[in-house]
Amino acid sequence: MTMILSTGDLRDLARRRIPRAIFDYAEGGSYDERTLRRNTDDLDALSFRQRVMVDVSDISLATTLVGLPASMPLGIAPTGLAGFFHADGEILGARAAAAFGIPFCLSTMSICSIEDVRAATTQPFWFQQYLMRDRGFNQELIERAIAAQCSALVLTLDLQVLGERRRDPRNGLSIPPRLSLRNAFDLVTKPAWIKTVLLGKRRTFGNLAGRIGGSSGISRLSEWTASQFDASANWRDVDWVRSRWPGKLILKGVLDAEDARLALATGADAIVVSNHGGRQLDGAPSSIAVLPEVVRAIDGRCEVLFDGGIRSGQDIAKALALGARGALIGKSFLYALAAGGQAGVTRALQILREELRVTLALTGTSRIDDVGPHILR
Ligand SMILES: Cc1cc2nc3c(=O)[nH]c(=O)nc-3n(C[C@H](O)[C@H](O)[C@H](O)COP(=O)(O)O)c2cc1C
């Protein structure tokens, strides 16, 4: 892993290690991918104010995120199917995050179940869920997250209906999976992935196994899930979750100041400014473009986390400068996982930490709490 110097290097390696359909599932956004591109373009467009001759010999990145100490202001975002990027992907991601002292968020749509991750790790993790038509299943997931002593529940608000990700059907990543000559040829060139993931122990949605008539087939479970997105979900349903979950509640997918105030009114402990990594409303602004107005609307009354386009420690510093308490990584995590399993994720976290540390130093900042808009031009 020594010549891996950036998260881009991990992405290049991931591309060589996993089937094209899986790589594109992470890489792609919805429709024409405008919002996907804006996430990174708008971060890139920000410049730092370089400061010199400030004593930065003692830099600390330590902070707290949603009530728990974190070694740096970063967490791993929930991503469905992480276990398809590497065998036992969610377990390995949770372990890497725990060893680093940062939060890991498990998605409902994971391959490893809540119980698998609980049994394989010692640190508490966050658990993410959507509001489903079958509220009994939401209730069951809440109970399982309580039993697993998850330290926070992340409720994702921006997936009442599914934005179309066009790369998936084009690659045959559909339900049921379609085997074309192209993806068959691509698969043959990835024998290690076939052996460890396709023929591995865990190959379906771990949290849903046995949900529909005892079936654990991924096609049937995917169909069931697709039918479960609840277009009627509204703020009263968020109150319903709040009343059942006794721990920290994080509302993910806020992209508007008015929604931020409504989220705050539910008693949430934190919100995540997010456009789902450009995978939902194409034409929505980048997450970084709306961060300042959401931060103003919240006015310190709950934590504001950020995701969308974080590829470097410099990006984390920019999000912090515009008022986020911490940032989450989706794609950068999945590429690292595909590139090298737990070691890959650890390498990504080392790179991001070091980039953040140097960025703080060169903007004349020693403490993470001192990062503010003044570090940007
Ligand atoms: C492949 C993939 C799967 C995702 N699955 C979920 C999910 O199950 N639940 C969720 O709330 N967000 C999901 N997201 C969105 C991420 O949590 C996060 O908001 C997004 O990836 C951040 O942008 P970034 O990828 O540029 O870091 C997913 C993102 C990707 C790339």
189-198 residue pLDDT tens? 999 999 999 8
Q: What pLDDT, on the 0 to 100 scale, is given for residue 217?
A: 75
Atom of ligand 1 nearest to the CA of 331: 25
User: Which pLDDT band, with edges at 50, 70 and 90, does 292 fall under?
Assistant: very high
Q: Specify which residues 107 forms β-bridges with.
A: 128
Q: Which residue has the higher pLDDT, 144 or 223?
A: 144
Q: List the one residue out of 316, 279, 344 whose CA is nearest residue 25.
A: 279
The Å distance, Cα 47 to ligand 1 centre, comes to 26
List Cα–Cα distances, 63 to 75, 188, 215, 333, in angstroms: 12, 46, 43, 21
* CA–CA separation, 261 and 299 (whole Å): 10
Q: Take residue 360 and report the two structure tokens written for it.
A: 């703080």
pLDDT digits (tens, 9 = 90+) for 7-42: 999 999 999 999 999 999 999 999 999 999 999 999
* CA–CA separation, 219 and 212 (whole Å): 12
Comparing 80-89, 160-169, 212-221, the range with the smallest average pLDDT is 212-221
Q: What pLDDT, on the 0 to 100 scale, is given for residue 225?
A: 84
Catalytic residue among 20, 276, 311, 331: 276
Mean pLDDT of the chain: 95
Give me the mean pLDDT over the 234-238 stretch: 97
The Å distance, Cα 329 to ligand 1 centre, comes to 8
Q: Take residue 180 and report the two structure tokens written for it.
A: 């074309």
Give me the mean pLDDT over the 220-230 stretch: 85
Is the pLDDT at 177 greater than 70, yes or no? Answer: no
Give me the mean pLDDT over the 213-217 stretch: 72
Measured from CB, residues less than 6 Å from any atom of ligand 1 are: 25-26, 39, 77-80, 107, 109, 128, 156, 252, 274, 276-277, 307-310, 329-332, 334
Helix-then-strand count for the chain, H and E: 15, 10
Is the pLDDT at 218 greater than 80, yes or no? Answer: no
Q: Which residue has the higher pLDDT, 183 or 119?
A: 119
Q: What pLDDT, on the 0 to 100 scale, is given for residue 95?
A: 98
* 198-205 contacts at long range (C-beta below 8 A, 24 or more positions apart): 200/87, 200/88, 201/87, 202/83, 202/87, 202/88, 202/111, 202/112, 202/116, 203/111, 204/111, 205/109, 205/110, 205/111
Atom of ligand 1 nearest to the CA of 332: 27
Is the pLDDT at 216 greater than 80, yes or no? Answer: no
Angle between helices 313-321 and 34-44 (to 10 degrees): 80
pLDDT digits (tens, 9 = 90+) for 123-171: 999 999 999 999 999 999 999 999 999 999 999 999 999 999 999 989 8
The Å distance, Cα 333 to ligand 1 centre, comes to 10
Protein residue whose Cα sits closest to atom 31 of ligand 1: 26
Q: Which of 279, 286, 345, 352 to mutate to test the pocket of ligand 1 (most atoms within 8 A of CB)?
A: 279
Q: What pLDDT, on the 0 to 100 scale, is given for residue 1?
A: 52
Size of the chain in residues: 377
Protein residue whose Cα sits closest to atom 14 of ligand 1: 79
The Å distance, Cα 56 to ligand 1 centre, comes to 35
Q: What pLDDT, on the 0 to 100 scale, is given for residue 219?
A: 78
Atom of ligand 1 nearest to the CA of 110: 8
User: Which pLDDT band, with edges at 50, 70 and 90, does 204 fall under?
Assistant: confident
86 is catalytic: no
Q: What pLDDT, on the 0 to 100 scale, is given for residue 180?
A: 76
pLDDT digits (tens, 9 = 90+) for 293-347: 999 999 999 999 999 999 999 999 999 999 999 999 999 999 999 999 999 999 9
**Contact in structure between 278 and 36 (CB atoms under 8 Å):** yes
Q: Take residue 30 and report the two structure tokens written for it.
A: 């919805």
0.95 surpassed by pTM: yes
Give me the mean pLDDT over the 117-123 stretch: 96
Q: Measure the N-to-C terminal CA separation of the chain; round to a whole number of Å.
A: 35
Protein residue whose Cα sits closest to atom 13 of ligand 1: 79
User: Which pLDDT band, with edges at 50, 70 and 90, does 102 fall under?
Assistant: very high
Atom of ligand 1 nearest to the CA of 77: 17
Q: What pLDDT, on the 0 to 100 scale, is given for residue 2?
A: 54
Q: Which of 35, 153, 276 to mutate to test the pocket of ligand 1 (most atoms within 8 A of CB)?
A: 276
